[in-house]
Structure 1
């Protein structure tokens, strides 16, 4: 199992978006999540709601080419600080 697959299967949606929105545009992130854990975004608009929460909280800001950038309140999710998937 790949590291990305393990993260998507085991972590909350907001934590996944906090990290992967910096690396993947929304359509690609949506495809990644659907491939590895459909249940996370089974509810209509779940991914968009997650982005909205993170933008409103200042965790993410709009970047270029569909990517987000770290906002003033960005902190690495717990799975990163604990180095769970290394």
Structure 2
């Protein structure tokens, strides 16, 4: 089990990026959260298998309709069973 924090910079608020990211993470069996931050970025914190986290990162780097991603910062963290699948 791994945990990652991802901060996505660019035009990522108000374009469905957060909603679609949450749906993709759920599809991959990841737990955690996706939230808009006051500085205009989107924060993703996800826990799951290394493979699922890598798939989420690859998905996030793709072009998404309405969004313009400038930078993705990622920080791998020690996983703790903090999130539930609900």
The TM-score with structure 1 as length reference comes to: 0.30
Return the structure number with greater helix share. 1
Q: RCO (CA 8 Å, sep 6+): is it higher in 1 or 2?
A: 2
The TM-score with structure 2 as length reference comes to: 0.30
Return the structure number with greater strand share. 2
